Structure 1
Amino acid sequence: MAGIFHGQSALVTGAASGIGLAIAQALADGGVARLVLNDCDADRLAQARDALARPGLAIDLLPGSVDDPALWRAATPLLAGITLGVANAGIADNGAIDTMDFDAWRRVLGVNLDGCFLSLQAMMLAMIAGEQGGSIIVTASVSGMKAEPGTAAYAASKAAALHLMRVAAKEGAPHRIRVNAIAPGGVETPIWSTTPFFRDMVADLGSEDAAYAALSQDTPLGRFARAEEIAAQAAFLLSTAAGPTTGTVLVCDGGYSL
């Protein structure tokens, strides 16, 4: 991967941990000259900056929630010159439709869909202004393609993000902006620890490894992916190796959706 992003500038949202941090690492390994890193957790974002630091790489931090329009208005100068964008920030919650609290629904849709829209808007505006084209990745989920009980808010947000990506691809094409999505299945990331059912599984089974093993029984390959593996898929779509590819979804779910 060395040099495939040489000299470019990139924005990654949700970059403090999990898939976002792994993608930021892949971009750094690929030779980007500048990273703009966003996350709502300012402390972990600073830790990510320190972990990614290396000679020749400038890193700017953009702390805040992606569903806050004020964040993106203030970010305009930081985004000047970006040609790579990753709309990755997301949260999870679970609950059946008949019992889910509306505030919980709005919280998930706010970050995962409103935040995706605002991120895409900011990235596209910066790329259009720069007149260099660009490549954008949306981190979706196989949950947006396969229905499962108890996933209404998360699944609906990711299904909508997938179609938003397709619209963005059509609108971005005249400006030489490619927009694609990755749709992971189970991935070993900190997002799981935010969901009550996973915390309950860890308590019952004794460890996160045991909980991941139980959850991956429905995955034909028999395991969850690592964040670094998903980042490699994203890096391919961002790179010139995927030059003719736009408006597509790369499903990387271990066969779960089959």
Structure 2
Amino acid sequence: MSDHLNFSGRSALVTGAASGIGKACAIWLAEHGIERLWLVDRDSNGLDALDLDCEIERRVGSVADPALWGSLEAEMETLDHAVVNAGIGTGGMLAELDLSEWRKVMDVNLDGAFLTLRAALRKMLAAKGGSIVVTASVTGLKAVPGVGGYGISKAAVAHMARIAAAENAAHGIRVNAVAPGGVDTAIWDSGAQFRKAAAEHGRQAAIRAMAKDTPRGEFATPEEIADTVGFLLSDMASNITGTVLTSDGGYTL
């Protein structure tokens, strides 16, 4: 293993860690020598199922809960890395979107990301260094009809990452975002249209049908996105901050 990809003796925070990209990032970090992981998710069973070769601190709750971050900040002695990943999906045309649905997605995807980022920055400012990756989306870069508030929330978190990078570069803290295209995760299962297609044709067929508009011809795996996140967190990316790295199989071409 390259020393630049060696996380020995370090700690990391991952939100949305019970499944999908967050789970893949937690596994990636453990495989690259991380000493201690702070894992946050609403899914207690998913967190309990993660059996990794490192010290794990599990916290069950919503990233949008300020009390959760108040207690976590008090408990975390130091923090070297953070993956600001937790998010939920939504859909619908803006003209038809109910305000309650808008607020629901903004509560988790934007407010939750802000609270996570703020807590991580405070710990890293005290330690005078660290690196953070925020999970954005290509729907925050490319206008895609029908994604409701999701794409808007992801555009906001991508820019939030850039502002955080500008504010903290002088303190030895790097902040970047990754903007995945389609990724085969459970977030699709929250959409009524996808559930209907999966019931009629099978889940993998439904995923393949959505991926046909991607030049690569398939969606990414969570592990592929975790590789990108790990690179941005690592010392290999020591000169990279304030970037939004697109990983979309060519979708935005």
Asked whether the two chains share a fold, i.e. TM above 0.5, the reply is: yes
For 1:78 and 1:237, the matched residues in 2 are separated by: 26
Q: Helix, strand or coil: the match of 2:163?
A: helix
Query: Paired residue for 1:121?
Result: 118
The aligned amino acid for 1:111 is V
Residues 1:240 and 2:241 aligned together = no
* CA offsets 1:179-229 (integer angstroms, 9 cap, x no match): 00110000011111111121122123x211100110001100000000100
Show structure 1 runs of 5+ residues with no match.
none
- The runs of 4+ residues in structure 1 deviating greater than 6 Å are none
How far off its partner does 1:62 sit? 1.5
Q: Structure 1 residue aligned with 2:27, among 14, 25, 28?
A: 25
CA distance in 1, matches of 2:15, 2:77: 16
Q: Is the 8 A contact 1:237 1:245 kept in 2?
A: yes
Q: Equivalent residues in 2 for 1:6-45 (5 A)? A: 6-45=8-47
Which residue of the partner structure matches residue 101 of structure 1?
98
Tell me how large the CA RMSD over aligned residues is.
1.1
1:91 corresponds in structure 2 to 88
Task: Give 1:150's aligned amino acid.
Answer: G
Would the aligned equivalents of 1:186 and 1:216 in 2 still touch at CA under 8 Å?
yes
1:182 partnered with 2:154 = no
In structure 2, the residue matched to 1:253 is 248
SS in 2 for 1:219: coil
Structure 1 residue matching 2:216: 3-state secondary structure: coil
User: Mean Cα displacement is larger for which, 141-150 or 74-83?
Assistant: 74-83
- Corresponding residue SS for 2:134: strand
State the distance in 1 between where 2:49 and 2:121 align: 28
Letter matched to residue 13 of structure 1: T
| Number of aligned residues | 251
Aligned-partner residue type, residue 248 of structure 2? D
Paired position in structure 1 for 2:108: 111
Q: Is the 1:186–1:253 contact (alpha carbons within 8 Å) kept by the matching residues of 2?
A: yes
Q: Does 1:199 align with 2:195?
A: yes
Q: What's the counterpart of residue 144 of structure 1?
A: 140
TM-score computed with the length of structure 2 as normaliser: 0.97
Between the aligned residues of both structures, percent identity stands at 51
SS in 2 for 1:150: coil
Unaligned runs of 5+ in 2: none
Q: Secondary structure at the match of 2:94?
A: coil
